[in-house]
Amino acid sequence: MAQSYWRTVSLVTMWQISASICYYSVFAATPFFRDAFGLSRFSVGVVVTMVTLGYAVFLLPLGALVDRFGERLTLSLSLVGLATGAALVAGSPTYAMLLAAVFVLGSLYGTAMPGTNKAVFDNIEPGKQNLAMGIKQVGVTGGSGISALLVTGLAGVLFWQAGFLIATALGLVVAVVFYRLYSSSSAGGTAEYPDFRVLLSNQPYVLLTVAGLFLGAALFTTTGYTVLYVEESIGASVAFSGVVLALVQLFGSVGRVLTGWLADVLPGDPQVRIGSILIVQSLAGAVLFVVVASTTTVLGATLAFSALGFFVLGYTGVYYSVMATLVRAEEMGGATAGGQLALTSGALFAPPAFGYLADTIGYRASWLLLAGLVLVASGLLVLVTRTTTPVSRPAATDA
């Protein structure tokens, strides 16, 4: 692969890692939010919903700005904003201020998927894009894993806000490095919202985004409650619970790279073969949610969550690869925004519902809820692979 390939992938992945450290620090800090502000499990779910709501509300406007000004400027500025948001979370004196701070933090993460996906599909040649997407998506799980170790590890040595302050400093440094070193073959255009009327007429794309609603519900709820669950229900320390979340993210990273590679090298029609990979991941995730609901030991929980990470956190790269087999290249920006909005919207209702069930019935019911949601997604994905796309030349084609 050419040097420019690795330069682009490395810089975009570095940006994604830093941005995800800032964003996912909120998910790792749920036990500290509960202790510091006296929250119920339901109120913890509201924190996760607020950071996700900010992301959802600003995803489309910021995606349009990415198209208008290019990913170099928008990704650099948004990372500065994310670093500032992490500092605001650390300095929140009340629960209300915490909700406002996480909303700001979430909103500025809205450039992540449109900007990084644009970088991949604008600068990487066909036949290498799926692997590049998998590597780039490792930045999400990698950043989340690092944030888990930072927040939970430093809390025992210093104070719970220490991880957020380090995330702030790292974000500012990486923003400067990215702006100075990144270059793109694409230029900004006119700031326009995607034409969703065209996308809504594409039946397999619509089915994929509806499936994304349920997949996102499972993904974000898993990352939001892993630390709290392992500490409260399994009886591990907060520090070890952070290690478990880091393992979830580590195995999610492996899953993203491996499935991205498989999507490039396996034979057959791209829509069917890549969609089938996503179906297998979803079904395995449903089984593992049932396993997690049944675990009672620290070792069992560690193994179950690691496997869960491989499948549930490992499917976002393939999710976008499937999308690229359904829409034209010029529609990929809008399709990405719609697909990410679907994933994110799932996280608006699932974490509070998960927390409510945990408060009123128990964690077992909560994990079984996620298993059911992923099963619904699997059925929709089967329909995606069996429905012919109306697009004659999709963004993803075999080289």
- pLDDT tens profile 156-171: 778 777 888 888 999 8
Q: 113 and 209 in contact (C-beta within 8 Å)?
A: no
Buried b (16+ CB within 10 A) or exposed e, 133-157: bbbbbbbbbbbbbbbbbbbbbbbee
Alpha-carbon distance of 143 to 6, in angstroms, equals 19
Alpha-carbon distance of 242 to 264, in angstroms, equals 33
Q: 267 and 273 in contact (C-beta within 8 Å)?
A: yes
Work out whether the CA dihedral 146, 150, 151, 152 comes out positive or negative.
positive
Alpha-carbon distance of 147 to 200, in angstroms, equals 37
- Predicted pLDDT of residue 110: 82
- Predicted pLDDT of residue 376: 95
- Predicted pLDDT of residue 262: 84
Q: 382 and 312 in contact (C-beta within 8 Å)?
A: no
Work out whether the CA dihedral 377, 345, 64, 167 comes out positive or negative.
negative
Residue 322 has pLDDT above 50, yes or no: yes
List CB contacts of 124: < 8 A, sequence separation 6 or more.
Answer: 5, 8, 9, 132
- Predicted pLDDT of residue 195: 62
pLDDT tens sequence across 12-26: 888 889 998 898 888
Three-state SS at 155: helix
Range of weakest confidence among 114-118, 265-269, 315-319, 328-332: 328-332
Residue 132 has pLDDT above 90, yes or no: no
Where does residue 329 rank: exposed (0-12), middle (13-18), buried (19+ CB within 10 A)? Answer: middle
- Token pair for 41: 């499990």
Where does residue 399 rank: exposed (0-12), middle (13-18), buried (19+ CB within 10 A)? Answer: exposed
- Token pair for 206: 């619509």
* One-letter amino acid of 217: A
The chain-wide mean pLDDT, for the chain, equals 82
161 — phi, psi (to 5°)? -80, -10
- Predicted pLDDT of residue 351: 80
DSSP category for residue 232: I
Residue 144 has pLDDT above 80, yes or no: no
What's the longest Cα–Cα distance across the chain? Answer: 58
- Predicted pLDDT of residue 399: 47
Q: Average pLDDT, stretch 208-234? A: 87
Q: Average pLDDT, stretch 263-289? A: 88
Residue 393 has pLDDT above 80, yes or no: no
9 — phi, psi (to 5°)? -60, -40
Alpha-carbon distance of 59 to 62, in angstroms, equals 5
Between the ranges 82-96, 204-218, 343-357, where is the mean pLDDT highest?
Answer: 204-218
Alpha-carbon distance of 42 to 97, in angstroms, equals 18
Q: Average pLDDT, stretch 58-67? A: 76
Domains of the chain: 3-182+194-386 (1.20.1250.20)
Residue 217 has pLDDT above 80, yes or no: yes
- Predicted pLDDT of residue 130: 65
Range of weakest confidence among 1-5, 44-48, 76-80, 309-313: 1-5
Cα torsion 290, 291, 292, 293 to 10°: value is 50
- Predicted pLDDT of residue 369: 93
pLDDT tens sequence across 178-207: 888 877 655 555 555 556 677 788 899 999
DSSP category for residue 67: H
pLDDT band, residue 286 (cuts 50/70/90) = very high
- Predicted pLDDT of residue 280: 93
DSSP category for residue 392: S
